[in-house]
Amino acid sequence: MPLQLHDWIARADALSAETRAFINGEYCAARAGASAERISPIDGRLLGHIAQCDAQDAQIAVKAARQAFDSGVWSRRSPVERKRVMLKFAELIEADIQHLALLETLDMGKPISDSLSVDVPGAARAIRWNGEAIDKIYDEVANTADDELGLITREPIGVVAAIVPWNFPLIMTCWKLGPALAAGNSVILKPSDKSPLTAIRLAQLAVDAGIPAGVFNVLPGRGQVVGKALATHMDIDALVFTGSTGVAKQLLMFAGESNMKRVWLEAGGKSPNIVFADAPDLQAAARAAASAIAFNQGEVCTAGSRLLVEASIKERFTAMVIAELENWQPGHPLDPATKVGALVDTQHLRSVLKYIQIGEDEGATRAYGGHQVLEETGGNYLQPAVFTNVRNDMRIAQEEIFGPVLAVISFEDCEEAIRIANDTPYGLAAGIWTADLSKAHRTAKALRAGSVWVNQYDGGDMTAPFGGFKQSGNGRDKSLHAFDKYTELKATWIKL
């Protein structure tokens, strides 16, 4: 029988989470002994005192990772041997689903139903898919003269530092761990200080699966301290990041100031969800538009935060979306019936509330929601908000709010929709709703976005690359293209 609210609360009350760093195969306190309280956004409960690593810890972890890589204990194992370990790793993640889901929900506030059905299975799937892929990727032989042989081979890049966000801590970690480890690299993971618990737990599962000591390390702590130490370290070969565009730009600078390490970034978004009057199913489009802004409390880089609606249906369709949002009201995240949980912390709640005020100050009309609720719980809960009469030059249409705030913008024709959609510094994702196949193709081709979904929102699986254009970043997670970030190409030319 599935666990109910009282079961999850009992488990939460009994939880004793690991809070230490993980370096060279062992849990350990931060070298300087520093730690910080981690407070749950659900109800303000203390989850533990998390190790706060610094440059000393980074130095130790990089040394361990480099020694492990150079020894060949993992990097020179055959692909099929690494695959076996990765598959075991995925199995252990799946077996630990209730523990990992509880940690994820308590740490960042998402509904337990999502942690169980989306986050943990998605993490295991990423590890398994990349493990399965690694012994099926072939190198190349160049077309040469008879007396020459040209080989193009992939080699693991070395030591990888991965800095991951707080909104999908487990999945984002495994999108990076999967190809990085499968390719033979050593990895140092820096989880967000807002949601480090599942990353710390993953380290034990990795060791149990057979990942050798030093190959996978976890350094919790503040980005300005341990994150910067990794980004500027001269012996890190590649830096991968998911987070804000501002931090992504800083990491590029750190790489240039240090050793020109490879830097791959998945940054912000302000994604347009375009609904034409000829959409095949307006009710389905309305349901998707509500989900696109309310799922995961709107704390999603691909959130459909700009709803572009053809003028002839704007009033009717906006009313349909608002009606659908009635099904997306905040509740206790440990209740399996809850669809919207708590924002990650009080600081972020205040930031989103500030944007709601900015929208009103700029002259947009708050047509629905946007109120803080359930304050008596001590948690950070916010109703989804809908703004109409929005111009695309308003801050609520240009800046990433990272919360459940929807800006509705009308357009007259396809050309105007494309112009508005592309009028942003970002280019991560976009949605298109139309029954006209030619219009769908023309619009998708014109949109400057890394992912375009037609008559759905947030489609794709592990076979589809994920990443953005413009200031949404570079490189791709998921699919075979992800291995490009974690390998170097070598050309070997042989005279026969």
Catalytic residues: 266, 301
Reduce the secondary structure of the chain to three states and give it as a string: CCCCHHHHHHHHHHCCCCCCEEECCEEECCCCCCEEEEECCCCCCEEEEEECCCHHHHHHHHHHHHHHHHHCCCCCCCHHHHHHHHHHHHHHHHHCHHHHHHHHHHHHCCCHHHHHHHHHHHHHHHHHHHHHHHHHCCCEECCCCCCEEEEEEEEECCEEEEECCCCCHHHHHHHHHHHHHHCCCEEEEECCCCCCHHHHHHHHHHHHHCCCCCCEEECCCCHHHHHHHHHCCCCCCEEEEECCHHHHHHHHHHHHHCCCCEEEEECCCCCEEEECCCCCCHHHHHHHHHHHHHHHHHCCCCCCCEEEEEHHHHHHHHHHHHHHHCCCCECCCCCCCCCECCCCCHHHHHHHHHHHHHHHHCCCEEEEECCEECHHHCCCEECCEEEECCCCCCHHHHCCCCCCEEEEEEECCHHHHHHHHHCCCEECEEEEECCCHHHHHHHHHHCCCCEEEECCCCCCCCCCCECCEECCECCCECCHHHHHHHEEEEEEEEEC
